[in-house]
Chains A and B, each alone.
Chain A
Amino acid sequence: MVTEQEIWKYLTEVPDPEIPVLSVVDLGVVRKVDLSEDEIKVTITPTYSGCPAMKRMEDDIVEKLNEKGFGKVSVELVLSPAWTTDWITEEARIKLREYGIAPPENEPDKSVLFANPIVVPCPKCGSNNTRMVSQFGSTACKAHYQCNDCLEPFDYFKCLR
């Protein structure tokens, strides 16, 4: 009899299609695993409403569990509670940095319109002397930054909460 824990372990082998160093579990997208007699139900939540990777994650989860010998797998998408970057694990933050993407910082509430810009350290050289190039980057979840010291352009996984 398979345990829930085993299923969670298999799910850590499903990579985020856009940031392959992270799994769907690292990202905090998988919310729940339900086992019944003949079916596995995985509940996921989208990072952003329009994130095109969600459908791919759904398919990849089903494919991975089929591959592990589970025939009947369903994936359910729920919106609440809404995903937040706070659910990205500590380990995943280290992986992100090593991959060249700055992990989310502890940002102030977005409802404060004219808040001071946050400091995002460069994932390459560690300098705090960086600047935001654009609040919107290569994917919905990232902003575009550049390091003023080593000049490295980099992605910042922006804080969502």
Chain B
Amino acid sequence: MDKNLFEYLLRLGDDSLILGHRLSEWCGHGPILEEDIALTNIALDLIGQTNSILEYAGKVEGAGRNADSLAFLRFDKDYKNCLLVEQPNGDFGVTILRQFFFDAYRVPLFTMLQNSSDEQLAAIAEKSLKETRYHLKHSSEWVIRLGDGTDESHARIQSALDDLWRYTDELFFSDETDADLKARNIIPDAAAVKTEWQKTVQAVLTEATLSVPTNNWKFEGGRKGLHSEHLGYILAELQFMQRAYPNMEW
């Protein structure tokens, strides 16, 4: 088994899975009907991407696991998503800013992954990129609308920014797994993705009249399986059916 590729696919797939699950929590609770539908549409794209990525991860591992068993039957420390995606939905400002940070990272990542020497990963990236561009457009427009909106909307999304900023550095986490895959031209350099991310973030935050916190306190851990308390609660809900009724299908 290509252990490093498997590990990377879990990181990529779990980001989509956990954020997709978080967005699905908005179903029936959106601030307006159109947003309810938008957030759940984005959730659907993310779960679809998860399916492709984790299905492939199962093949790479070669131990008989598929997308379902990887999504539903692992313990918390085996999930490799970044901390950003598991943070609670908060108000609409928190959700949309979390989405924006993520989309602004995923667009350059998928763009570069299209050139991966791994054919299946390149195919998944090519497919996902088209959808993710719509997500980025949607989240950027909302960040600007809220930031450059009323005093109330500005204050709320600025507070979301002050809170979520510390999780953004982990998007560009890079360890020996990444170094090996990078050397084999399977994944791009995290620093190159970060440069693109910074450009988008700076352009949108400026337009939105928002400011980045000055303190440089950063969190990380998710990529190593060390999560915030929130992941356990997500998994309790996500895994309930498979844990209560093993192997059930419908």
Inside 8 A of B128's CB, which chain A residues have their CB? Answer: 49
Interface residues in B, total, Cβ within 8 A: 35
A interface footprint on B140-168 (CB within 8 Å = 1, 0 otherwise): 10000000000000000000000000000
Residues in chain A near residue B48, CB distance under 8 A? 46, 48-51
Query: Which B residues are within 8 Å of any A CB, using their own CB?
Result: 34-35, 37-38, 41-42, 44-49, 51-52, 107, 119-120, 122-124, 126-131, 133-134, 136-138, 140, 200, 203-204
In the complex, A48 Cα to B130 Cα: how many Å? 9
Q: Mark A53-71, 1 if CB is under 8 A from B, else 0.
A: 0000000000000000000
Contact A80 B126 (CB under 8 A): yes
B-contact 0/1 string along A144-161, CB 8 Å cutoff? 100000000000001011
Known: A49-B128, A50-B47. 15 other contacts (CB 8 A): A46-B48, A48-B45, A48-B131, A49-B45, A49-B48, A49-B49, A50-B45, A79-B123, A79-B124, A79-B126, A80-B122, A83-B127, A136-B38, A137-B37, A140-B44
Q: Is the CB of A140 within 8 A of B41?
A: yes
Residues of B within 8 A of A50 (CB): 44-49, 51
Q: How many Å from the CB of A82 to the closest CB on chain B?
A: 4
In A77-129, the 8 Å CB interface with B consists of 78-84, 110-111, 113
Is the interface on chain A under 10, 10 to 19, 20 to 34, or 35 or more residues? Answer: 20 to 34
Residues of A within 8 A of B42 (CB): 136
CA distance A161 to B52 in the complex (A): 19
Nearest residue in B to A144 (C-beta to C-beta)?
Answer: B34
Q: B49–A133 contact, CB under 8 A?
A: no
Question: Which chain A residues lie closer than 8 Å to B124 at the CB level?
Answer: 79
Partner of B200, one of A52, A84, A113: A113
Chief secondary structure at chain B's binding surface: helix
Q: What's the dominant secondary structure at chain A's contact region?
A: loop
Say whether, besides A50-B48, A79-B123, A113 and B130 are in contact (CB < 8 Å).
no
Are B123 and A136 neighbours in the complex by a CB distance under 8 Å? no
Task: Check: A134 CB closer than 8 A to any chain B CB.
Answer: yes
Question: How far does the Cβ of A121 sit from chain B's closest Cβ, in whole Å?
Answer: 21
Residues of B within 8 A of A135 (CB): 38, 134, 137-138
Task: Please give me the residue from chain B that is nearest to A138 by CB atom.
Answer: B37
- Picked from A79, A133, A138, A161, the residue with its CB within 8 Å of the CB of B127 is A79
Residues of B within 8 A of A160 (CB): 130-131
Q: Separation in Å of the A156 CB from the closest CB of chain B?
A: 13
Assembly CA distance A48 to B128 (angstroms): 8
User: Once the chains bind, are B34 and A136 in contact (CB under 8 Å)?
Assistant: yes
> A129 → chain B, closest Cβ, in Å?
20
Which one of A79, A80, A113, A140 lies within 8 Å of B137 (CB-CB)? A113
User: Pick the contact of A110 from B120, B122, B137, B204 — CB < 8 Å?
Assistant: B137
Bound together, the chains give a CA A6 to CA B123 distance in angstroms of 30
